[in-house]
Amino acid sequence: MKYSLFFLLIAPICYAQAEYPQDYFRDPLDIPLVLAGNFAELRSNHFHSGLDIKTQQKQGFNVYSAAPGYVSRIKIQHYGYGKALYITHPNGYTSVYAHLKKFSPRIEAYIKQCQYQKESYEVEVFPNANELPISSDEIIALSGNSGGSTAPHLHFEIRDNEERPINPMLFGINIKDTSKPSVFKVYAYAKDENSYINKSNNKVELRLIPDKSGNYRVENVEAYGLVGFGVETTDKQDYAPNNNGIYDIQTFFNGSKNLEIDFRRFSFDESNHVNRFVDYELSKTKKVNIQKLFVQKGNTLSLFMDVEDDGYVRIEDSTSSVYKIRIQDFKGNEAWVTIPVIGKKMKTPPQSSMENKPPIFVLADQVANLKKDNVSVYIPANTFYDDVNLDFDVKSDTLYFYKDIIPLQKSYSIYYDIGNYNEADKSKLFIAELMGYYKRPNYIYTTRKGDSLIGKSDNLGTFALTTDNEKPKITPINFNDGKWISKENYLKVKISDDLSGISKYRATINGKWILMEYDYKTNMLTYDFSDNIISETENNLKLIVTDNVGNSATFEATFFRK
């Protein structure tokens, strides 16, 4: 009997792995594969769509095409994936390589021609199938740290023909993992006002007790009504300390399967629902990522399978039940959490924590317009998952719009009437979110229409009308005006803006536009002399940098080069 149950539990995962070709894709690097991040792990506002492969804290490792095909997309941006390459393969899959340092010579020449034609560092192009064919084991790029990368690594993805990312390990990319997943916290949630846990109608953290085998149990829980559970869990692969995501979660109630969450594939359209999947309030206030093992309204994640009663369990009075959570990594290492539940109905049910509700009530499925003084907020229908009570107040051009503890499905708009400002000041205004303990202003994308400033935000919080009168700063790094720099391979300039932030820049030498790569993490602009744009001995550099409200700074210098 035990053997039969074990077979039934592991069979779905073995079947899932067998669906994908195992010998088609090679490793994208020729160094041992060690992960900084794995597939579908929780990230801010999204699931991670690939493997983050460590590159030994260095840049410049050869990146290989995982299989033959053709370059179908090249995208270069300051943020996000940085320098990214997409290769479409004959079997219908596409592999993605991001945060690159540079491309192979022929791809680099192709994309630089596009950049110079468009006079823009940021470009996105879609080559035809015959423009950049790729052979087996071809070196396509060097690994780097471009875009939103926080350390050198290669971000690697495999997508299907519907552009859905799939766990690359399903295709035979092998990452050693001999450790069980770890569990840090378990919470219980009452579904409604007629349900409760340990005499509380609120969510309750349960006392977690690890055992010597690597499994966990929870002290007896008293409950009644419809109850759901949530868990904070991560997994470590070998050779790295990183706490990464897990592969599969299953729940059982009194021996019957109640729910499964399979992290093998998702679509980008649904990824933002990660904020509904986790306990968003705990994530924001305590940096705790509780994955909710039940499905709430608006959570359309395709990760859920075999869901019974939306993942909730019904606890009757005077009963003894057992709720189990099975957490598994890709290699089959598993950890179990056992939660004994005693059904106990209270004579007087506990009161909900929402007795002192904030004054503004917003229906989730209806448009809402809030206004006070010179500020108004437009909330489209279905911005919120649930009907909500909010605080809304305006004082001295500062908008207090509740706290960032409620997940949103889409952005809402903030309008400031700036008619009372003089014309000279209006052009220097922007809307900022006040962040952190010191409420430092952080620019949010702001447009102007007449005497209205309009900003969009996808989170609640505190916002303020802010003035930026300061020009960006420009500092040459490896040259000075009037100097010879024949031995330098690059021209480097540091740019910064302390308030609204850098919006754009343009550089020319002897009147010709030059390609300067911008790394926002180091505030560095870099021009590569191998672009061969200049051929004269005396060269005049002109650099114009503009911030997000239009303040511009101009830097000019003459340098000599043979």
CATH number, domain of 554, equals: 2.60.40.1220
Please report the pLDDT score of residue 6 as a whole number. 35
Residues 6+ apart with CB under 8 A from 120: none
Together in a domain, 67 and 132: yes
Domain contains 190: yes
Given 120, 146, 171, the domain boundary residue is 171
Domain contains 276: yes
Q: What is the CA radius of gyration of the chain?
A: 27
* CB 430, CB 418: distance < 8 Å: no
Domain contains 9: no
Given 411, 434, 462, the domain boundary residue is 462
For residue 517, which amino acid is it?
Answer: E
User: Using H for helix, E for strand and C for coil, what is the string for 154-182?
Assistant: EEEEEECCCCCEECHHHHCCCCCCCCCCE
Report how far residue 392's alpha carbon sits from residue 378's, in angstroms, rounded to the nearest whole number.
12
Give the chain's largest Cα–Cα span: 91
Cα-Cα end-to-end distance for the chain: 82
Domain contains 4: no
Block means of pLDDT (10 residues each) for the chain, length 562 residues?
Answer: 37 54 96 97 94 98 98 97 98 97 98 97 97 97 96 97 96 96 98 94 96 96 97 96 97 97 95 95 96 95 96 97 98 98 91 74 97 97 96 96 96 97 94 95 96 97 97 97 95 96 97 96 96 91 97 97 91
Please report the pLDDT score of residue 215 as a whole number. 98
Structure token digits, residue 22: 């195992």
Instruction: Tell me how many domains the chain contains.
Output: 4
Together in a domain, 167 and 190: no
Together in a domain, 498 and 553: yes
Task: Write out pLDDT tens, residues 386-400.
Answer: 999 999 999 999 999
Please report the pLDDT score of residue 354 as a whole number. 54
Given 308, 343, 378, the domain boundary residue is 343
Report how far residue 42's alpha carbon sits from residue 536's, in angstroms, rounded to the nearest whole number.
52
Together in a domain, 94 and 113: yes
* CB 387, CB 364: distance < 8 Å: yes
Residues forming beta bridges with residue 305, ordered by sequence position: 260
* CB 195, CB 160: distance < 8 Å: no
CB atoms within 10 A of CB 463: 25
Which contacts (CB < 8 Å, 24+ apart) does range 351-360 have?
Answer: 351/201, 352/193, 352/201, 352/202, 353/201, 353/202, 354/389, 357/389, 358/389, 358/390, 358/391, 358/402, 359/389, 359/391, 359/392, 360/389, 360/390, 360/391, 360/392
Domain contains 176: no
Please report the pLDDT score of residue 12 as a whole number. 42
* CB 231, CB 292: distance < 8 Å: no
Residues forming beta bridges with residue 388, ordered by sequence position: 362
Together in a domain, 454 and 509: no
Together in a domain, 48 and 154: yes
Domain contains 449: yes
Question: Can you give the residue range of the structural domain that contains 428?
Answer: 357-462
Task: Write out pLDDT tens, residues 313-331.
Answer: 999 999 999 999 999 999 9
State the alpha helices, DSSP H only, in 184-240: none
Together in a domain, 65 and 136: yes
Strands 429-435 and 412-417: what pairing?
unpaired
Together in a domain, 150 and 189: no
Structure token digits, residue 39: 């597939």
Domain contains 352: no
Please report the pLDDT score of residue 9 as a whole number. 41
- Kindly tell me the sign of the dihedral angle through the C-alpha atoms of 243, 458, 426, 396: negative
Domain contains 314: yes
State the alpha helices, DSSP H only, in 233-349: 268-271, 274-277, 280-286
What are the φ and ψ backbone dihedral angles of 311, each rounded to 5 degrees?
85, -10
Please report the pLDDT score of residue 348 as a whole number. 84
Together in a domain, 203 and 283: yes
Structure token digits, residue 520: 């926002």
CB atoms within 10 A of CB 135: 9
Together in a domain, 84 and 193: no
What are the φ and ψ backbone dihedral angles of 387, each rounded to 5 degrees?
-60, 140
pTM above 0.85, yes or no: yes
CATH number (domain holding residue 90): 2.70.70.10
* Strand ranges for 127-273 from DSSP E: 133-134, 139-143, 153-159, 165-166, 182-190, 196-197, 204-206, 208-210, 216-218, 221-234, 248-253, 256-262
Residues forming beta bridges with residue 396, ordered by sequence position: none
Together in a domain, 422 and 482: no
Together in a domain, 324 and 453: no
Burial 347-382 (b: 16+ CB within 10 A, else e): eebeeeeeeeeeeeebebeeebebeeebbbbbbeee
Please report the pLDDT score of residue 4 as a whole number. 36
What are the φ and ψ backbone dihedral angles of 276, each rounded to 5 degrees?
-90, -30
User: Using H for helix, E for strand and C for coil, what is the string for 411-467?
Assistant: CEEEEEECCCCCHHHHCCEEEEEEECCCCEEEECCEEEECCEEEEEECCCEEEEEEE
